[in-house]
Structure 1
Amino acid sequence: MHREVGTSIELFAGGGGLAQGMHRAGFRHLLTNEVAKRACETLRLNGAKDWKTGDLVPEALNSPWPLIENDIRTAINDEVFKGLVEKVDVVAGGPPCQPFSLGGVAKGHEDERNMFPELFAVVRETRPKAILCENVRGLLRPSFAPYFEYILNELRAPFEERKEGEPWYEHDARLRRALKKEGSDLTQRYEVLPIPVNAADYGVPQIRQRVIIVAFRKDLAVDWKEPRKQHSETALFISQLDGSYWKKRGLAPNDELIERARRRHVTDDGKKPWVTLRDAIGDLPKPIVGEELKGYHHHIGWPGARIYKGHTPNLLDRPAKTVKAGVHGVPGGETVLLEDNGSHRYMTVREAARVMTFPDTWRFAGPRGEQMRQLGNAVPVDLGAIFAKAVARALRPDLDINWAG
């Protein structure tokens, strides 16, 4: 059962991963914004409705999500967020990661796809109580460290706007001075918490290294408790060493994985094992090339999978590799799966969606490549829900948030 815990605006919504996580935690979406045509089609396939100026905001948690298909800069210039001041609890979204991705050209602040300034603009327009943002771990690279700290400073003081033509490093210096001043308006300041995460540590069946940025308006004096990592690789190794993993699944032990675990000299950390790819997709029927199996959206076999040096497959008894958007050339086997009989094949879109913890009812628009792109760019739904619930608990300590989702 879902109950409402607050309201949100979803920016850079893509295929809907973080938006679903926020909804599952009990946040009512006042607006959802995305510019990519196919991603917007996906959102509509799953119930989103086009929004235009003058439309009423949804009044119920399960109302259709209001969708603005437009460049976020255009939406800001059209002042579509103006009427939401004091109505927004959380602004959530993952600005495009390509400017900072290890797989891309990594232009950072010089990349025109850097949408952090637009995120800050929406914060100024709506003055939310909290912000929840996800991006690639590449932001934490030493080469990006000064600019990442600048991003955090902008979020700490978003109303200290960058002047036209002002270099980012001069704006950063001005932000630092402003943040040191006493007597600042705390409704215009945010406490910012960057958190490196591996999605597997939170029960997602995938090794996915990311950074999540959480911020709370300072006047609220929020008591934030970071979500606890309940799963670990150590616990998976122990379960495979003591045989409980194999026995539970009716499998013969995998000698290679057992030897890998033995080399680690692990000790019990009291956590649950990482969720494996087998756990995520094991109940799905075997896909057939070119044919969608009845009762399963996007579960269609795809021919031509290969294995070679640098292009190794996913193992069923480990979490999957990072699902990638696939826009930087041939990936490193992230969509190839090694079967128990030694054969290999491409994962289906539905299997990749399981790895991203999307529900089986969720539909994706476009051809296979576009569907995989949406998944690779998304936030795993379960990871989004865990952090959304933690934000909800901080904003609403009067409620029992455990029921939501």
Structure 2
Amino acid sequence: MNESFTAVEICAGAGGQVLGLHQAGFKHEVAVEFDSNACTTLRHNDITPVAEGDVADSSVWDPRDYEGVSLLAGGVPCPPFTIAGKQLGANDERDLFAWSVEQVDKVRPRALLLENVRGLSMPRFAGYRQHVLDRLADSGYVGEWQLLQASDFAVPQLRPRFVLVALKPEDAEFFHWPKPDKFDPAPTVGQALFDLMGDWKGADDWKGHADKIAPTIVGGSKKHGGADLGPTRAKRAWAQMHVDAMGVADAPPARDDEFAIGPKLTCDMVQVLQGFEGRYDWSFTGRKTSRYRQIGNAFPPPVAHAVGNAILKAFRREGPRREIRPSAQDPVYRALAEANDFLSAAKLTRLAGTTMGTSQLERHISMLSKDFDIEVATRGQTTKYKLGSFNAFVGQEAHSRHEAFLKNRAKIS
């Protein structure tokens, strides 16, 4: 009962994961965040110390100062992997996923927790994911990926998040992913927001139309304009629930207001849809657009709480021991990495244990080449492939990330 579990949070944002992990029982030793508005929100909610600046800048914080913490956690930038974006992966200056994994060797936490968008789970990034698992294994950790739906944890929103948890083998045997809460289903948008509609006369009728959970809330970035509720497909889904997604309101609708589509949501309403209510009450600071982006980009606290609980249960050896099976993400990448030499297509598919045809293999190699240098040698009718370096930023002083980051600093959020 007297156990104390510490955490370091990188790319902390405005604190969704911080709050959820705190509720699970972790005490943060530091939260590192680049956005000044989010840092103000963290401090306003008594999260200290906060290290403000580029997480990869050693003058902002030194990971080695926190060696031995219970948990290294973070919600690293999503744009490199998002389906709606260019999916540049390792070639995006905002990509900090690989860098975060490398910090395990400096911090030596008991566990690692990183979350990102569903796009990272797609075939496009199979090699990237395999590289991450292999690096963690080299460092003595067992890593696992899992796609979690926020709505499975009573959050009134369709928000899939791709989560990586890595633990030392002795703890990994007792780790079990949290299960959906069947006894506390997510409320609909109408149920969740009805009380925030004030004395608007149309609230009862509106609640009946808003009878689904929300589409994924999109916080956006400084590269885009003001706040709204997402891309075209999301706006159509909102319209079907009689919500005007073309912006965010300053206040709830007045008593006699009438709408062509429906009311716009306020930041307080969006906050509820992200799971910030009840035990997860949290105050966001700043102007409307900044507050909306902070809320929209957050990891829902109830999901972070559930994953944090699962990690603590593993630490405490609660629950049954399980068999650990290696998680294979990309057998082609693995075969190339283990060979460390040129492989013909025939030998590569044999070592990978796949039945890919030539065109399939070429497409797969093409995907890998977006994140890794792939050497191709052709002699006569035979083409051979060799895996080269990983293009991602992992801390290199000469990496192109530095120049691109400085150039785009004002637009990064």
TM range (shorter): 0.5 to 0.7
Which amino acid is 2:285 matched to? A
Determine helix, strand or coil for the equivalent of 1:230: coil
Instruction: Using the TM superposition, give the Cα deviation of residue 335 of structure 1 relative to its aligned residue in structure 2, in angstroms.
Output: 6.9
Corresponding residue for 1:6? 5
The answer for the alignment partner of 2:353 in structure 1 is none
Match of 2:276 in 1: 358
CA offset at residue 120 of structure 1?
2.1
Q: Secondary structure at the residue paired with 2:167?
A: strand
Residue equivalent to 1:100: 81
User: Within 5 A, what are the aligned runs for 1:250-261?
Assistant: none
Q: Any residues of structure 2 matched to 1:229-268 within 5 Å, and which?
A: 229-231=180-182
Q: Does the aligned pair in 2 maintain the 1:72–1:118 contact within 8 Å?
A: no
- Mapped to 2, the partners of 1:112 and 1:82 lie a distance apart of 24
Cα offset, 1:286, TM superposition: 2.9
Correspondences of 1:108-187 after superposition (within 5 Å): 108-157=89-138
* Cα separation, 2, equivalents of 1:19 and 1:314: 34
Structure 1 residues 315 and 227, CA, compared in 2 at 3 Å: closer, same or farther?
farther
Q: CA deviation at 1:148?
A: 2.4
More off after superposition, 145-154 vs 201-210: 145-154
Who is 1:241 aligned against? none
Q: Which residue of 2 aligns with 1:57?
A: none
The equivalent position to 1:316 in structure 2, one of 210, 218, 233, is 210
1: distance between equivalents of 2:317 and 2:268? Answer: 37
Deviation readout 1:309-339 (Å, 9 max, x if unpaired): xxxx995211111110134676232776627
CA drift of 1:30 comes to 0.9
For 2:131 and 2:208, locate their aligned partners in 1 and report how far apart those are by CA, in whole Å. 37
Residues 1:322 and 1:78: Cα distance change in structure 2 (over 3 Å):
closer
Structure 2 unaligned blocks of 5 or more: 201-206, 244-257, 320-413
Shift of 1:41: 1.2
Tell me which residue corresponds to 1:72. 55
The answer to whether 1:369 aligns with 2:289 is: yes
Moved more, 18-27 or 208-217: 208-217
Task: Tell me the CA shift for residue 387 of structure 1.
Answer: 0.7
Contact 2:55 2:61 in 1 (8 A): no
- Residue in 1 aligned with 2:189? 277
Classify the secondary structure of the residue corresponding to 2:72.
Answer: strand
> What is the rounded CA distance, in whole Å, between the counterparts of 1:148 and 1:349 in structure 2?
35
Tell me the residue number matched to 1:225. 176
Equivalent AA in structure 2 for residue 195 of structure 1 = Q
Tell me the alpha carbon deviations over residues 88-138 of structure 1, each in whole angstroms, 9 at most, x when there is no partner. Answer: 001111110111011222211100100013312332211001111111000
- What CA deviation, in whole Å up to 9, does each residue of 1:253-288 have, x standing for no partner? xxxxxxxxxxxxxxxxxx654421223222224389
Aligned counterpart, 2:145:
194
Consecutive unaligned residues in structure 1, runs of 5 or more: 49-64, 158-187, 232-270, 289-312, 400-405
Which amino acid in 1 is paired with 2:16? G
The reply on whether 1:83 has 2:82 as its aligned counterpart is no
Counterpart amino acid of 1:216? L
Shift in Å at residue 202 of structure 1?
A: 1.9
Aligned length: 287
User: Quick one: which amino acid aligns to residue 322 of structure 1?
Assistant: T
1:370-389 → structure 2 map (5 Å cutoff):
370-389=290-309
State TM-score, norm by structure 1: 0.64
TM-score, with normalisation over the residues of structure 2?
A: 0.63
Could you tell me the percent identity over the aligned residues?
Answer: 32
CA contact (8 A) 2:63 2:106 kept: yes
What are the superposed Cα offsets for residues 121-170 of structure 1, whole Å, 9 maximum, x if unpaired? 3322110011111110001222222222223323333xxxxxxxxxxxxx
Decide whether the 8 Å contact of 2:81 with 2:117 is kept in 1. yes
Tell me by how many angstroms 1:221 deviates.
Answer: 5.1
Deviations 1:348-398 (Å, cap 9, x if unpaired)? 101110011113752222222221211221100111101111111111237
Cα pair distance change 1:335/1:8, threshold 3 Å: farther
CA distance in 1, matches of 2:314, 2:150: 21
Check 1:335–1:10 CA distance in 2 against 1; reply closer, same or farther (3 A cut). Answer: farther
Query: Residues 190 and 208 of structure 2 are in contact (CA less than 8 Å); yes or no, is this contact kept in structure 1?
Result: no
Q: Counterpart in 1 of 2:327? A: none
AA aligned to 1:85 is: E
Letter in 1 for 2:108: R
> In the alignment, is residue 390 of structure 1 matched against residue 341 of structure 2?
no
Q: CA deviation at 1:22?
A: 0.4
Q: What secondary structure, in the 3-state scheme, does the structure 1 residue paired with 2:271 have?
A: helix
Q: Deviations over 1:55-89 (max 9, x none)?
A: xxxxxxxxxx31100211113x6663323222x00
Return the alpha-carbon distance in structure 2 between the equivalents of residues 379 and 315 of structure 1: 27
Whole-angstrom distance in 2 between the partners of 1:73 and 1:15: 18
1:222 Cα deviation from its structure 2 partner: 3.6
Distance 1:230 1:341, change over 3 A: farther
Where does residue 15 of structure 1 map in the other structure? 14
Aligned residue identity for 1:70: G
Query: Matched residues in 2 for 1:6 and 1:151: separation?
Result: 25
